[in-house]
Structure 1
Amino acid sequence: MNKLKVVFAGTPDFAKVALHALIDKADELNIDIVAVYTQPDRKAGRGQKLAQSPVKELALSHNIPVEQPPTFSLKSDDGKVARETLANYRPDVMVVCAYGLILPMGVLNTPRFGCLNIHGSLLPRWRGAAPIHRSILAGDDESGITIMQMNEGLDTGDMLYKVSCQINDLDTTQTLHDRLATLGGQAMITVLKDLKNYQNNAQKQDETLVNYAQKISTDEGQINWNNSANHINRQIRALNAYTFLNSERIKILECLPIKPEQTTSEPAGKIISVGKKAILIACGADDNGNGHLINITKMQWAGGKPLSAEQIAVGDKLQDGQMFDL
């Protein structure tokens, strides 16, 4: 039986996990990963040296050919060459995971079975660029992976397979990212084991249930202490959250789950207690009109290292009664 020729397209660590899973199961799946597509090398770090993507590093370590076209657009010579190169691999299917390049219909139709996308949400909820961040920000109870048959729209293709996972009150973008990355690889393996069946039973997305995971902006990380403790808790877990004390920017890195019994009538943004286990800060009222405390466990001052609550308390970095800028 001829092996299924697979082209993989992805760039960051999320995609690397999926590629690793396919490499490990290649014999069992009877697939041949004939090429890997990833974003061109980018300058990174303080030295601004060119750095390879995580996907490229993994592919090269397994002697898989790597392609890094800047575009697939027929308006440029680079795009024309990229399409010819892809066609020459004669792929049966293209697996796409956080690739970062728009794939025109000419590319989507090149593989015999089209292009399959590993998307980090339960579509049609959270189409778009930042589904993991948005699910935590929104207070969702669950997230998951959708394997989708790609079309020209933004995550609008038919769904082949979905698998869910719970979001707990300690999950951050990073922890949920890591779980979903593993689930994504497993889900794609499931689909490739019986690809024709999954494609024959594909389901269209319900457009009435669609919402969009817009790209995260830096401003969204700024904490407004007038917001509820639950809102701020989700902001810290989902984003690069920050606040200001006397106009000095401070990152808020970690916090504990909200304790319903920790109510307060103190003004929002006031430091109630600088303790060795947590720094208690008053937040604004919730929908029931109650103010609550949030327990911050890790912070970072500009130019400094991350500090635990105990390090902050011992180092006298904060004082009871101080007010964060609103």
Structure 2
Amino acid sequence: MSQKLRIAFMGSPDIAVGVLKALIAAGHDIACVYSQPPRPAGRGKKLTPTAVHAFADSQGLEVRTPKSLKKAPEQEAFAALNLDAAVVVAYGLILPQAVLDAPRLGCLNMHASILPRWRGAAPIQRAIMAGDTETGVDAMLMDAGLDTGPVLASRRTPISTEDTAGSVHDRLMELAADLAPFALAGLADGSLTPEAQPEEGITYAHKLGPADQKVDWNRPAREVDCQIRGLSPFPGAWCEWLPPGSTSPVRLKLLDSRRSGCETSAPAGMILDDNLLVACGDGGAVRLTRLQKPGGKPLDADMFLNGQPIPPDTMLF
């Protein structure tokens, strides 16, 4: 039976909710929950709390949503919690040294990659986009660097050629929920020894931007397929096409795909059959299997084509 610890939980998106649930179930005293401030969302732009904030409210936990932890009053308020540890999962704010030093055992971060690969903001998406065949969750003691601290324990999962960022996210959420109480107990009783990250193999999962989303059909089929799956369901890869009789291109959000084994000499971006097989720059092809048009719902390709046929020889751009 692990000892009961007084902890702060710091997280924002839904991948962090499972970890908070697991820490509550393990019997730890959640002194406070820190999360990103509510932001406008939906058509009405109503201020909406993060997934962690909403769940913490439902559990009657104190929630703090500072815009920054850099100022002395916020740091003093954090130190006054008299914590054994803080557990951090995709919080979204930089923790200054004063915050890192405040808990007795330090700050434990659940990072969604196999460190030192994919340090940074978008490790799940970047791993799939790069064609990685494995990822995982590392329990890391935080220091002042960007995901540079020593690792206490890890969990691993393969990445298949059918995975999207969404499916990998869901598996990592379960792994993180299993790992966090184990790593926290090992940190507290000394049964786990932090190990420095390797000096080789460092990569950075830079924050995703608009330049990552537009599909360039001149790229190899493997890269196009990984891009589409790595950005699904959010923010989504996209391309455009010109419907017959129209003078305005229509944007298509591409949410899933499969790399085809066929070879073609058709121009990159050309539709090769009635089922959205698209030529790529290396002579390979990618089949689009899930799409969304502006104002519409995400649809599997067969349902999409029932309402919006896209015939062979059409060019996507």
The reply to whether TM is greater than 0.5 is yes
Alignment of 1:206 with 2:198, yes or no, is yes
Distance 1:94 1:201 in 2: 18
Question: Which moved further from structure 2: 145-154 or 81-90?
Answer: 81-90
Identity %: 40
Q: In structure 2, the residue corresponding to 1:319 is in which secondary structure? A: coil
1:17-52 Cα distance to aligned partner (Å, 9 max, x none): 1111111222xxxx2111111111111111111111
Contact 2:186 2:192 (8 Å CA) reproduced: no
CA distances 1:102-161 after superposition (whole Å, capped 9, x unpaired) = 111101000000101000001011100011011001111100011111011100111111
The one-letter amino acid of 1:253's match is L
- Corresponding residue number in structure 2 for 1:219: 211
TM-superposed deviation, 1:2: 7.1
Which residue of structure 2 lines up, in the alignment, with residue 263 of structure 1? 263
Q: Secondary structure at the match of 1:320?
A: coil
- Distance in structure 1 (CA, Å) of the matches to 2:87 and 2:300: 41
Q: Given that residues 191 and 198 in structure 1 are in contact (C-alpha distance below 8 angstroms), is that contact kept between their aligned partners in structure 2?
A: no
Query: Can you give the 5+ residue segments of structure 1 that lack an aligned partner in the other structure?
Result: 75-79, 286-290
2:158 equivalent among 153, 166, 170: 166
Runs of 4+ with deviation above 6 angstroms: none
Residue in 2 that maps onto 1:5? 6
Instruction: Give the structure 2 partner of residue 249 of structure 1.
Output: 251
What is the aligned length? 306
State the Cα distance separating 1:200 from its structure 2 match.
6.1
Q: Which residue of 2 aligns with 1:69?
A: 66
Change (3 A) 1:103 1:270: same
Match of 1:148 in 2: 140
Partners in 2 of 1:198 and 1:97 — Cα distance? 22
- Write the distance in 2 (CA, Å) between the matches of 1:136 and 1:297: 17
CA distance, structure 1, for counterparts of residue 4 and residue 312 of structure 2? 66
Contact 1:160 1:198 in 2 (8 A): no
Q: Could you tell me whether the CA contact under 8 Å between 1:161 and 1:198 is conserved in 2?
A: no
Does 2:221 match 1:229? yes
In structure 1, C-alpha distance between the alignment counterparts of 2:308 and 2:186, rounded to whole Å: 61
Measured in 2, the distance between the counterparts of 1:200 and 1:15 equals 23
- Provide the residue aligned with 2:80 in structure 1: 88
Q: How far apart, in 2, do the equivalents of 1:210 and 1:2 lie?
A: 35
In the alignment, is the contact (CA less than 8 A) between 2:183 and 2:192 conserved in 1?
Answer: no
Does the Cα contact within 8 Å between 1:228 and 1:283 map onto a contact in 2?
Answer: yes
Task: Map 1:8-157 onto structure 2 (within 5 A).
Answer: 8-26=9-27, 31-74=28-71, 80-157=72-149
Q: Separation in 1 of the partners of 2:36 and 2:304?
A: 41
Distance 2:176 2:257 in 1: 28
SS of aligned partner of 2:194: coil
Long gaps (5+) in structure 2:
243-248
Indicate if the aligned counterparts of 1:236 and 1:252 stay in contact, CA closer than 8 A: yes
State TM-score, norm by structure 1: 0.89
Partner of 2:246: none
> Judging changes above 3 Å, is the alpha-carbon distance between structure 1 residues 215 and 52 closer, same or farther for their aligned structure 2 residues?
same
What is the TM-score of this pair, normalised by structure 2?
A: 0.92
Counterpart Cα distance in 2 of 1:225 and 1:156: 36
RMSD of aligned residue pairs (Cα, Å): 1.7
Matches within 5 A, 1:271-290: 271-275=271-275, 279-285=276-282
